[in-house]
Amino acid sequence: MLLTLQLMNYRISILIVVMLLTISSVAQPAERRITRSEYIETYKDDAIREMHRSGVPASITLAQGILESGDGNSPLAMYANNHFGIKCHSGWKGKTMHIDDDAKNECFRKYKSVYESFEDHSDFLTSRSRYAFLFELKVTDYKGWAKGLKKAGYATNPKYADLLIDLIEKHQLYEYDRYAKVPSKAPKKGKTSATLASASAKKYTVKMHNNIKHIIVKKGDTFYSIAKAFEMNEWQLYRYNDLNKSDVLEEGQILYLQPKRNKAQEDFHIVKSGDTMRSISQQYGVKLNKLYKKNNMIMGTQPNAGQKISLRKKVKN
């Protein structure tokens, strides 16, 4: 009798274990991990689109996304659509997700879509002064960008730059930096405003000078209308063109859509009547403060007609 009871209890115990395992497998199904090639194919268009909007190389965006999100399989990527490990910081007003990282229970940004994460990644880099020097590099200089991100403190890993470069070269992500056109496919976030913005941008002819994209201002244009058309922020137009909020756009003037460079392709400029340091800066795509420094001039002063302004090298006293 005792032996029979022990056998029954054993069988019941086995049955309970089997039931628990079955319930667990139903309640917690294994989530399929996407491969690296799938990640690249899925998000390459978003990276190219952001490159044209912000100036951040598509290869860098993809490599960072791969590295920071584990090919889109990290908990932060899966449950918060955060592919770049961007923390909340003081200015973030959106939703959040708390996980252990460098410290316990750290606050990370949570997005409605993956594309929103890509956008915020671009805006994060363009809005912080410590990354400003990166936008002086060519969009095809992925090595410079990778090393610059590490130098600016984007990540604490001492091998961060090497990891990005290895990813870019192994998967030939640099090819996406050469795309001259924005992909025609609508952004995955599904906002109609982006499609409308692309349509608005078609009325402009985007030109290149000193490897910088710019347009010629049309009658009736405003900072808001241009920023909206090119999916930019107004502050970017102010900064890239050495302008203030109080300035008014004039028909026919050059307006850069990317940061100007430290030097021009030409060696010098002979000042004509009516020229200002800013007009010369715009004409050649050279940052205004760099132009002053090259010519040992005090900010705010203006050149004289006939004066030779150096555009590449610093003038020796």
Q: 3-class SS at 97?
A: strand
48: in domain: yes
Of 233, 230, 235, residue with least CA distance to 203? 230
Residues 101 and 210 occupy one common structural domain: no
Checking if the pLDDT of 246 tops 60, the result is yes
Q: What is the per-residue pLDDT for 212? A: 87
Quick one: 147 and 196 in the same domain?
Answer: no
So what's the pLDDT on residue 102? 65
Percent of the chain residues past pLDDT 70, beyond the cut? 82
> Based on C-alpha coordinates, what's the Rg of the chain?
26
Average confidence score pLDDT of the chain: 82
Q: What pLDDT was estimated at residue 317?
A: 74
Residue 27 pLDDT class (50, 70, 90 cuts):
very low
Using one digit for the tens of pLDDT, what is the confidence trace for 162-204? 999 999 999 999 999 888 666 654 444 444 334 444 455 667 8
263 in a domain, yes or no?
Answer: no
Statement to judge: residues 138 and 208 lie in one domain: no
Q: Which of 178, 210, 233 marks a domain boundary? A: 178
* Strand duo 106-109 + 207-209: pairing: unpaired
CATH number of residue 237's parent domain: 3.10.350.10
d(CA 155, CA 288) in angstroms, rounded, equals 31
Q: Where does a domain end: 121, 146, 178?
A: 178
- Helix ranges (H only) for the chain are 2-27, 36-54, 58-69, 75-80, 114-127, 142-151, 160-170, 192-201, 223-229, 234-240, 277-284, 288-294
